[in-house]
């Protein structure tokens, strides 16, 4: 059973011996937690932790000067790190290796591959709480990401502390140059209903930015009777839309 303590962002639950050996390293004692009843151990990343590298939530690697959770000999000096988006407060995982040896396993189904770490630089992804059974693999070590019930409280505390302040995170990550290409995004919630469609809040899975996406839907009779107005609205959205988002298109439905 996980004990109650300072607000926690997430836990890393070891899934194999390589992961357990990392948890049990003396240098990681401040992150290690255990359950005496069954001997299970895990890593805890909470608001009380002071990161060695500004703008990062927690870093992994062999470099004692910059990494918070140290890895055994044979691992890269810098393996990966988590950080908090300075405006949306999404948690992102970034691979710091040259050989792509950090893997985010978001699901057992091929349809969910868009939630895994993509190719290209910087190689990172938003780690969504809604994706169940998410795992992170560092070389041979496999961990499951366990979200804490105090995550919301930890975020509120993070907003008020200089350790995770927007200015610090902006200095570390906001200047990243992302490759052009189709934005891969996921709906967070519905914002409302506008003319001829619904508007959703979505998250860009590559950058952690939040976007408003409008889905147009017209009954055939509406499109016929108000064709000019419909086209005007679609043309306006085209002018305002992000160049990497899917181009506006009409969706005709029946029974509107």
- The pLDDT tens digits for 61-114 are 999 999 999 999 999 999 999 998 888 888 999 999 999 999 998 765 555 667
Which CATH architecture fits 8-174?
A: Sandwich (2.60)
Number of H helices, E strands in the chain: 5, 14
Residue 58 has pLDDT above 90, yes or no: yes
The whole-angstrom separation of Cα 236 and Cα 231 is: 9
Give the pair of three-digit tokens for residue 219.
């009954």
Degrees to nearest 5, angle at CA 158 with 156 and 160: 80
- The pLDDT tens digits for 209-244 are 998 888 877 676 665 666 677 677 777 767 766 666
The annotation status of 214 as a binding-site residue, yes or no, is yes
pTM: 0.79
Length of the chain: 256
Stretch(es) of the chain classified as CATH 2.60.200.20: 8-174
Residue 255 has pLDDT above 60, yes or no: no
- The pLDDT tens digits for 119-147 are 878 899 999 887 778 899 999 999 999 88
The whole-angstrom separation of Cα 251 and Cα 249 is: 7
Confidence of residue 1 (pLDDT cuts 50, 70, 90): very low
Neighbouring residues of 201: CB distance < 8 A, sequence distance ≥ 6: 187, 188, 189, 190, 191, 210, 211, 212, 213
Instruction: Give residue for tokens 């070891």.
Output: 14
Confidence of residue 154 (pLDDT cuts 50, 70, 90): low
């Amino acid at each position: 059973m996980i004990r109650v303590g300072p607000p926690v962002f997430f836990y890393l639950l070891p899934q194999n011996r390589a992961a357990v050996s990392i948890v049990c390293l003396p240098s990681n004692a401040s992150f290690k937690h255990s359950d005496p009843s069954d001997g299970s151990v895990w890593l805890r990343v909470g608001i009380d932790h002071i990161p060695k590298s500004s703008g990062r939530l927690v870093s992994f690697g062999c470099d004692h000067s910059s990494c918070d959770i140290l890895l055994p000999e044979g691992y890269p000096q810098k393996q990966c790190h988590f950080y908090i988006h300075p405006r949306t407060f999404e948690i992102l995982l970034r691979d710091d290796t040259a050989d792509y040896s950090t893997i985010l396993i978001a699901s057992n189904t091929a349809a969910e591959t868009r939630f895994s770490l993509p190719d290209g630089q910087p190689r990172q992804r938003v780690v969504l709480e809604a994706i169940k059974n998410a795992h992170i693999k560092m070389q041979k070590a496999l961990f499951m990401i366990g979200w804490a019930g105090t995550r919301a409280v930890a975020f509120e505390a993070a907003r008020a502390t200089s350790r995770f302040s927007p200015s610090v995170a902006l200095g570390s990550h906001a200047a990243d140059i992302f490759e052009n290409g189709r934005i891969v995004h996921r709906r967070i919630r519905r914002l409302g209903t506008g003319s001829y469609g619904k508007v959703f809040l979505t998250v860009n899975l590559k950058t952690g930015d939040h976007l408003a996406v409008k889905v147009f839907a017209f009954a055939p009779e509406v499109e016929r009777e108000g064709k000019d107005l419909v086209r005007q609205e679609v043309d306006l959205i085209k002018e305002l839309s992000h160049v990497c988002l899917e181009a506006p298109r009409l969706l005709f439905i029946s029974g509107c």
